[in-house]
A = this chain, B = another copy of it.
Amino acid sequence: MMRAITHFNYSHSLPLMPRLQLNARKQPNQRRSQATVETILAAAARVLTKHSLAGFNTNRVAEVAGVSVGSLYQYFANKESLVAALIDREQERLALAVEDTVKDCAGKSLGDGLLALARLAIDQQYRNPTFAAALDHEERRLPIGSRLRRHEERLGAAVIAFLMMHRSVLPADRVAPDTARDLLLITRALVEADAQETATPPRDLERRLLRALTGYLTAP
């Protein structure tokens, strides 16, 4: 339904990264620290957008942020943490957007609701395809932290809330976490694939996506 739809957990991956610490090194309590973290994250997003994953490195991020590498490492234990934080932040934005959309769906039909969610997803992915793709990439690669998990659950919860609204027209077994997850996965797959190929959403993407979602929800 949106850019950064993720799996709910992918535990057994990455043999080469034994004990990553994906959490920010310290909670920046103070105003100034908070601002620095923001600056760094913004810079990271810019670098990812402009240079893609291949050109993404901590020195560059620090430089773009106008901060020393040392400072970067003050707030992020390592590169992965930085990426994780970036993903976390995007997930946050995404979860909010989905929750908003779901709220707006109250009273609408199932089809109209799905349409709104489909549009949101397309919108998110196409707003900044390089960035979105890069994050998706990393998301799949990273061991997932608790913060991230919480966002995904929020995302899943929002979708379930949406499904609840229409439980009268849905098969009973469809109002479930797994359904929410599948819908998110399908959405991401279709939207991402198109976004890799064309700079603007093809006209029929919306229709095809809707078909996939509706189909999944209504199939026997």
Interface residues of A (CB under 8 A from B): 7-17, 50-55, 130, 133, 137, 140-141, 178, 181-182, 185-186, 188-190, 193, 196-199, 204, 208, 211-212, 214-220
Closest chain B CB from A70 CB (angstroms): 11
- CB contacts (< 8 Å) of A54 on chain B: these are 14, 16-17
A141 to B204, CA, bound (A): 25
Max chain B C-beta neighbours (<10 A), residue from A190, A196, A198: A196
- CB contacts (< 8 Å) of A204 on chain B: these are 178
Complex contact B182–A13 (CB within 8 A): no
Copies per complex of this chain: 4
- CB contacts (< 8 Å) of A52 on chain B: these are 13-16
- Closest partner residue, chain B, to A187 (CB atom): B189
- Closest partner residue, chain B, to A53 (CB atom): B141
Which of B8, B197, B208, B215 contacts A212 (CB under 8 A)?
B215
Complex contact B208–A214 (CB within 8 A): no
Complex contact B212–A214 (CB within 8 A): no
- CB contacts (< 8 Å) of A9 on chain B: these are 197
- Closest partner residue, chain B, to A13 (CB atom): B196
- CB contacts (< 8 Å) of A212 on chain B: these are 182, 186, 212, 215-216, 219
- CB contacts (< 8 Å) of A215 on chain B: these are 212, 214-219
- CB contacts (< 8 Å) of A211 on chain B: these are 216, 219
A130 to B181, CA, bound (A): 22
- Closest partner residue, chain B, to A188 (CB atom): B189
Which of B7, B133, B188, B214 contacts A196 (CB under 8 A)?
B7
A215 to B11, CA, bound (A): 29
Sampled A-B contacts (24; CB under 8 Å): A7-B193, A7-B197, A9-B197, A10-B193, A10-B196, A12-B196, A12-B199, A15-B50, A16-B52, A16-B55, A133-B140, A137-B141, A178-B208, A182-B208, A185-B190, A186-B186, A186-B212, A188-B189, A211-B216, A212-B215, A214-B219, A215-B217, A215-B219, A218-B219
